[in-house]
A and B are shown apart, each in its own frame.
Chain A
Amino acid sequence: MKKVIEGNHAVSWGAKLARVEVISAYPITPQTQIVERLSEMCADGSLDARYISVESEHSAMAACIGASAAGVRTFTATSSQGLALMHELLHWAALGRHPVVMADVNRALGPGWNIWTDQNDSLSQRDTGWIQFYCETNQEVLDTTILGFKLAEAVDLPVMVVLDAFFLSHTAEPVDIPDQELVDGFLPRREARYKLDVEDPHAFGALVRPDAYMEMRLQQQEAMERAHDAFDEIESEWEALTGRRYGAIEGYRTEGAELLLVTSSTITSTAREVVDARRDAGEAVGLVKVKMFRPFPTERLRRLLSGVSRVAVLDRNISPGHGGIFAEELRSALYDVPPDDRPTLFGYVVGLGGRDVTPTVIGEIIDGTRAAERPEREDLWVGVAP
């Protein structure tokens, strides 16, 4: 069934089709529509779930953790300050190995108040132990929400589905909404291996001393590593059912490219247009879209980028005092590529606080990258008043 829906509602549909059992959420722009629609679905009976209207994002995550610990499928959504408030419990969910799925509508942090898109909220949670997916279209948002549950429950790690404020959240696109039966077959009801159970009582989360803490951390890391292959398998299964596949990373017109753009989220769509135009003009320009940020697809990126002359990373985020976060991660990933094959990496900081990243901006980035011998600095701020 095709419907023209906004990105936020694509999330709602994804959660509904996943038959999420407990939703706990708190309103924040521009996420609010996700949970509004879910609360309506709970109210009208189209979704059999408990909707808990908590008093804060912190409690939203806490309630999800509690419900997940009791063995059910749980979901929440937030943005920006709300995600920041949850921070403590993001660790708790991940170390407790609770497969919570959360949508984060990327929004800048204040002050001053800014409700527009910016990846700093989700990237600030890089080290909390959550799998992170960045989405380009509303279809991808819906599919990733469903895939997210499947992956989360396969490796017992929480998954964050990230979409851009307004560019996706409030933009209507045609979306193929799969049948419930199809999703049910793909994603059966959650059966937790560990859960609160009066028939088999255990304590969860008790003090762990130094003699065991590292082993538990290592197993978290191993689960992250398994997520690479697990996601491939899950996508294959989904592809067989729907014909759609996204990949942890996607190469677009990379063949013979001398310059590859590296993008995430909706900037990718704009960049595709620019790449098409430049290819039509005969330029050897391509594109790599990074969908999975955690676990970081290091090997895949190395394979795709080795031997390419130049790489331009577009970061709608900044790690103050360092640089764009995708760029820095990529720099680190490419360090082990032999020097002869190692591309020169240009890190561009763009579009913070919702500033438009237009084809013109991307064109300037391509031109600048091609023109320069080496980047003048690690973080190249584009389109800002000097």
Chain B
Amino acid sequence: MAEVGPHGGIPPISVSSTSTRVNRTGSWKYIRPVYQDRVAPCNAGCPVGIDIEGYMNLLREGRDDEAMDLLLRENPMPAVTGRVCDHPCETHCNRRFFDEPVSIHAVERMLGDRILERDLPTPVATQRKERIAVVGSGPAGLACGYHLARLGYRAVVYEAAPEAGGMLRLGIPEYRLPREILDAQIERIRAEGIEIRCGVRVGPDVPWGELARYDAVFVASGAHQGRATGMEGEESDGVRSGLHFLKEVNAGGRPDIGRRVVVVGGGNTAIDCARTARRLGAEVLLLYRRTRAEMPAIDEEILEAEREGIEFEFLAAPNTVAKLNGRLRGVECIRMVLGEPDDSGRRRPVPTEEGQFTVIVDTILTAIGEITDLGFLPPDVHQDRWQIVVDELGATSTPVVFAGGDVTDSERTVAHALGDGKRAALGIDRFLRSAAGEPIPAVDPERYCLGPEGNISMTRWRDDDPLRRNSPVNEVVEFEDMNQDHFQHADRHPDHHLSDARTLAGFDEVNQGLGRDEATEEALRCMNCGVCNQCELCLIFCPDMAVSRSEDGWGFVIDMDYCKGCGVCAAECPRGAMVMTREGL
């Protein structure tokens, strides 16, 4: 057009000369979105305190090495736990409401095995002067030493047995945990800078007083004495402690147990006994006084026991052994019914008069629990019912003494033992730093616990989360908080198993886990509950182009000048990692 309007610069037609960015439409809002990461239920459910969601996220991004490092921050022995942990993470996994839980154990196992292929680690550079004695090289003791070593302390582990590993070596059969895996794992832990002295029993070999030269002591000597069933004739030949039986076989022994074996109990030791006995050629009947539903053993282990031909008799308990010519011939059993719940919440079995029966048997293996032997401890370390009393960081009534694992009232799983070891390492760190007059990293348990169940997170303790979570709150994200529309169904990969023919032929590992690709696919099934995994849906669905990627490429920035507070981003966040908050609050 020829003219240039003198009319206040207004052009002759409606033609734009600026963008709508001149409108600060963000002023319309009364609520605003905030990125707020929460705790994934797997993490909250892991007694070891592993950042499972975190390593799944790293795996999804192809950052495998970082995933392994993140795993090793919290768990000294993923190749072991990937095999023998009862993986409460999976029972907590939100995906169970969607299709099936992620096979976390298989992913952990894959990572654990890949870690074993790495070069041996070297001790951390910063070394502190304090030394700590650890009594017992089971998972609790090794975990404590491992984390102390990583915190720069020197730990010396005393182990009564000829080789390290505690119950992992003594109690868990090879078909669940091949010894080369355990050996390799312990070798790596040792390489972190831990000294392990085997064949040395505290008490007889090393008096308690000798440990006084250490700056702290962690007691994790475990529970090794089989508990008596109370049946008549329990002391007879042919009635054995299941744990002793396992120790013998695990050490290479092949005891004569006859053709017919009865195992008493419903926990993992009972199942291990039954399956081990089966491999020695016996027909095995397992007696359990409650029902299948109450069995504390890992469900897969029970299933595999069934597959291996072990018979189960539920609501039954041995009452009297029957002998012929002084030799065990059978066991008379009584029937139970379930009564009122007991302290553990399970319904208490109550004997009945009817339905008694007799089983012909050559060997009875009792596996109804183990108790500690803490005779070496001085009386000032307070105990309660043969268990050491500890606080939330493993400290006993004696200042320098800490304890964890089966010597305490902790749950008797590998995971809890590993968690206890870490808990005590953290307690010892706090104690020693405090004694040295140093600042203590995090005093409030909220700052070092992952989730409300008190699992210890070294990452939180050290406050160096490599995943840079957004203003995390220590609150577990529920499935209902997530937008499941952004997930697609994907079948869980079942573990591979040894063929039936090979299973009973020896002690080869039965569960073969998943291949690397399969396990990676499982990692992709992870929904990263509660944690932003950079999926960008907030940005994609923002009607106002108010969301953009951070300049450093990690996370997002919301331009409050333009966010109208519609809430679409938070509603569409698949992970419940965004919340809407009142404007001005």
Query: A residues touching B (Cβ–Cβ < 8 Å)?
Result: 95-97, 154-156, 193-194, 202-208, 212, 215-216, 218-220, 222-223, 226
Contact = CB atoms under 8 A, between A and B. Distances in A.
A155 B1 CA distance: 7
A379 B14 CA distance: 41
Given A215-B10, A216-B10, A203 B15 contact: yes
Task: Output the residue of A96, A206, A219 with the most chain B CB within 10 A.
Answer: A219
Contact of B14 (A156, A208, A218, A222): A208
A222 B2 CA distance: 12
A123 B186 CA distance: 101
A220 B3 CA distance: 11
B8 interface: yes
Given A156-B1, A156-B2, A194-B1, A204 B13 contact: yes
B10 A154 contact: no
Given A96-B13, A215-B10, A193 B1 contact: yes
Contacts of B1: 97, 156, 193-194
10 contacts: A96-B13, A154-B2, A156-B1, A194-B1, A204-B14, A215-B7, A216-B12, A216-B13, A218-B7, A219-B3
Interface in B11-56: 11-17
A97 B12 contact: yes
**A-B pairs with lowest CB-CB distance, top 9:** A215-B7, A203-B16, A215-B10, A219-B12, A193-B1, A156-B1, A202-B16, A208-B14, A212-B10
Contacts, number: 51
Nearest to B13: A97
Contact of A194 (B7, B8, B15): B15
Nearest to A154: B2
B4 to A, nearest CB: 10
A156 B12 contact: yes
Given A156-B1, A215-B5, A220 B12 contact: yes
A99 to B, nearest CB: 10
A212 B10 CA distance: 7
A215 B8 contact: yes
Contacts of A208: 14
B448 to A, nearest CB: 55
A97 B13 CA distance: 7
A191 to B, nearest CB: 11
Contacts of A96: 13
Contact of A216 (B2, B14, B16, B17): B14
B369 to A, nearest CB: 78
A205 B15 CA distance: 6
A222 B17 CA distance: 23
Given A212-B10, A216-B10, 7 more contacts: A97-B12, A194-B15, A203-B16, A204-B16, A215-B5, A216-B14, A219-B5
Interface in B276-290: none
Contacts of A222: 3
B13 A223 contact: no
Contacts of A226: 3
Contacts of B15: 194, 202-204
Nearest to A96: B13
Chain B interface size band reads 10 to 19
A153 B13 CA distance: 15
B190 to A, nearest CB: 68
A155 B2 CA distance: 7
Contacts of B16: 202-204, 206
Contacts of B3: 219, 222-223, 226
A223 B11 CA distance: 13
Contacts of B11: 216
Contacts of A97: 1, 12-13
Contacts of A193: 1-2
Contacts of B13: 95-97, 194, 204-205, 216
Contacts of A215: 5, 7-8, 10
A248 to B, nearest CB: 20
Given A97-B1, A193-B1, A194-B1, A205 B14 contact: yes
A292 B544 CA distance: 51
B10 A202 contact: no
Nearest to B8: A215
Determine which residue in B2, B13, B17 has the highest number of CB atoms from chain A within 10 A of its CB, and name it: B13
Contact of B12 (A154, A206, A207, A223): A223
Contacts of A95: 13
Contacts of B14: 204-208, 216
Nearest to A193: B1
A96 B13 CA distance: 6
Nearest to A207: B14
Contacts of A223: 3, 12
Contacts of A194: 1, 13, 15
A33 B5 CA distance: 41
A73 to B, nearest CB: 16
Residue picked from A194, A202, A215, most chain B C-beta under 10 Å:
A215
Contacts of B7: 215, 218-219
A211 to B, nearest CB: 9
A226 B2 CA distance: 11
A208 B11 CA distance: 11
B86 to A, nearest CB: 63
B1 to A, nearest CB: 4
A72 to B, nearest CB: 16
A104 to B, nearest CB: 24
Contacts of B17: 202
Contacts of A216: 10-14
A113 to B, nearest CB: 39
Nearest to A155: B2
B7 to A, nearest CB: 4
A155 B16 CA distance: 21
Nearest to A97: B13
A205 B13 CA distance: 7
A95 to B, nearest CB: 7
A295 to B, nearest CB: 15
B200 to A, nearest CB: 81
Nearest to A204: B15
A36 B7 CA distance: 44
Nearest to B10: A215
A323 B159 CA distance: 120
A206 B15 CA distance: 7
A154 B1 CA distance: 8
A95 B398 CA distance: 92
B285 to A, nearest CB: 83
A224 to B, nearest CB: 12
Nearest to B5: A219
A97 B3 CA distance: 12
Nearest to B9: A215
Contacts of B2: 154-156, 193
A96 B5 CA distance: 15
A196 to B, nearest CB: 11
A155 B8 CA distance: 20
Contacts of A207: 14
Contacts of A156: 1-2, 12
Contacts of A219: 3, 5, 7, 10, 12
Nearest to B7: A215
A195 B154 CA distance: 78
B5 to A, nearest CB: 5
A356 B230 CA distance: 132
A33 to B, nearest CB: 34
B359 to A, nearest CB: 88
A220 B7 CA distance: 12
A137 to B, nearest CB: 31
B570 to A, nearest CB: 32
Nearest to A218: B7
